[in-house]
Amino acid sequence: MRSENAAKVRQLALFRELHDSTFRDLIETSFLQRFPRGVNLIRENEPADFLHVVVEGLVEMYAATDMRETTLEIIAPVGIFILAAVLNDQVYLQSARTLEPSTILMIPAEKVRHAMETDQAFMRAIVMELAASYRRTIKDLKSQKMRSGAERLANWLLRMQRERGRNGVVEIPVEKRVLASHLGMTPENLSRAFLTLRSHGVKVHGSRVEIERLDALLVFAKPDPLIDDPENLFRQTSS
Amino acid sequence: MRSENAAKVRQLALFRELHDSTFRDLIETSFLQRFPRGVNLIRENEPADFLHVVVEGLVEMYAATDMRETTLEIIAPVGIFILAAVLNDQVYLQSARTLEPSTILMIPAEKVRHAMETDQAFMRAIVMELAASYRRTIKDLKSQKMRSGAERLANWLLRMQRERGRNGVVEIPVEKRVLASHLGMTPENLSRAFLTLRSHGVKVHGSRVEIERLDALLVFAKPDPLIDDPENLFRQTSS
DNA sequence: CGGCCTATTGAAGCCCCTCAAATTTGGTGG
DNA sequence: CCACCAAATTTGAGGGGCTTCAATAGGCCG
């Protein structure tokens, strides 16, 4: 692995406090692999063999039944996924596919469990990571159960604006149908939700969203710190 | 605390593998308190001061905004709640109220964090508990996003039947409006969902539900092991 | 026994989904 | 770099699921 990438991974909260030897052990037997866009990295219901780290690119976590499919999370660099399944040696609850050409670090599950047992700092980091993941998911669940589609979109835009906005302009970094699925609605309904938001100070041109009247959007969205978390945009464990 | 209760708590997966001294430390400074029905134990947005253990009774975890309220979880003996908030020293994301007269053990957050640092077996148990909580919540989220109200009810009944059913009879252990909120619908809609299920082999008399044709209900519900978990009924960490 | 809360049923309407078709976008290969 | 093709997005129409409001019946607690 190139030292530039190793440094990025090392910076993750999950790995930052590890002993050097633990980190080396983890990295040594891992694979760093580059995937094109649209590749299935894992499939739900399969045993969890690797902990995955998104080093570059963008990954969609989703679940599917016969007829329906829904996006549960979108993971940006540098973020990890399926830690929980790895720890319990269980099957994945979610599938993952690349939304962009991506570089993924795959750490054998066995190694992760072993490192957890030998390095208490690592176990502590895992506790914090899992606690954060749990809270993030609870927030998603609250959003899903208590808000309308347009409200979920409005608050997503506000979080986007705060984290990555420039002069009230937000760039949607994924296909709209993916955003729709993430927000729990159909693509058609996302279009209509944007129409609804037009009367609350929002204009859309393609993937470029302009928030013209922030105050008006805030009134409509009624953001709630117990639901809207900066971390709920894209999962990034780092910084 | 009476030894009968102490034994119950000790049996929890979260506490089972602890050193005796760690367990004693945790219990020593804790409060065992009895509450009548309908009491608010914690309120969202307040700092997490105690880890709570439901020793007897029934507790509803819920969240509320100006206009809406939703039940996120129902916790039966012996189960714990708000572990994640305690660990990060953050505010609660959920409120809790007793649905029945309940006995609650309250362990100071400070003690939990300290015990985690000194007893590795405890930290490992916390990791497993959090991983399980995370996966349970992901399942809830999938259920919410991919299923209709009647399907959620049908699968809830099937899980109930498997865990607590007797001869195809399931007793609903909470008010129907609480069940409705837990399943993500209004009380009116729950009534109608039961009507829908009548044509799939389900009969209701008050809180007593009779599953007359299990095969028919299964066809309608299409249960999925990646969504329907025995643990998703009521949260019980024990056994 | 009275009063309040819960549960059910009906009516009306909104939100969201499905289906369909037109239009735009973006990726691919020449 | 351009043209083409497939896919994504938008818009319209129709319908179903769910909510809201309202009224009634039933049950529990003080």
pLDDT at res. B89: 86
For position B231, what pLDDT does the model report?
Answer: 67
Helix, strand and coil percent figures for chain A, each rounded to 5: 45, 25, 30
DSSP A12: S
B130-154 in b/e form (b: 16+ CB < 10 A) is bbbbbbbbbbbbbbbbbbebbbbbb
pLDDT score of A237 more than 90: no
pLDDT tens, position by position, A119-139: 999 999 999 999 999 999 999
Query: Considering only CA atoms, which residue is closest to the C1' of nucleotide C26?
Result: A175
Q: What pLDDT shows up at residue A232?
A: 66
Above 90 in pLDDT, residue B67?
A: no
Structure tokens at B221: 């519900």
Amino acid at A73: E
Report pLDDT digits (tens) over A24-41. 999 999 999 999 999 999
CA–C1' distance A160–D12 (Å)? 31
Q: Percent of chain A having pLDDT more than 70?
A: 96
B13 interfaces chain A, CB cutoff of 8 Å: no
Which tokens belong to A200?
């609350």
Q: Going by C-beta distance under 8 Å and a sequence separation of 6 or more, which residues neighbour residue B121? A: B17, B18, B19, B22
Work out the pLDDT band at A236, boundaries 50, 70, 90.
Answer: low
Beta-bridge mates of residue A170: A209
> Within 13 A of B181's CA, how many CA atoms are on the CB side?
19
Give the mutation candidate from A42, A69, A138, A186 for the B interface (greatest B CB count, under 10 A): A138
Count of A-B CB contacts under 8 Å: 122
Q: Does A135 touch chain B (CB under 8 A)?
A: yes
**pLDDT at residue A6, rounded to an integer:** 85
Q: Helix, strand or coil for residue A74?
A: strand
pLDDT at B214 over 90: yes
Q: What is the mean pLDDT of residues B139-168?
A: 95
User: Strand D nucleotides below 7 A of a protein CB?
Assistant: 8-13, 17-22, 27
Chain A residues within 8 A of B127 when measuring between CB atoms: 87, 116, 123, 126-127, 130
CB proximity A85 to B under 8 Å: yes
Structure token digits, residue A83: 């830690």
Q: Residue B161: how many CA atoms within 13 Å on its side-chain side?
A: 21
- Is A128 in Cβ contact with B133 (below 8 Å)? no
pLDDT, mean over chain B: 93
Radius of gyration of chain A (CA): 19
Residue A87, CA distances (Å) to A95, A192, B10 in order: 17, 41, 23
Are the beta carbons of B83 and A132 separated by less than 8 Å?
Answer: no
Q: What structural domains does chain B harbor?
A: 3-143 (2.60.120.10), 147-228 (1.10.10.10)
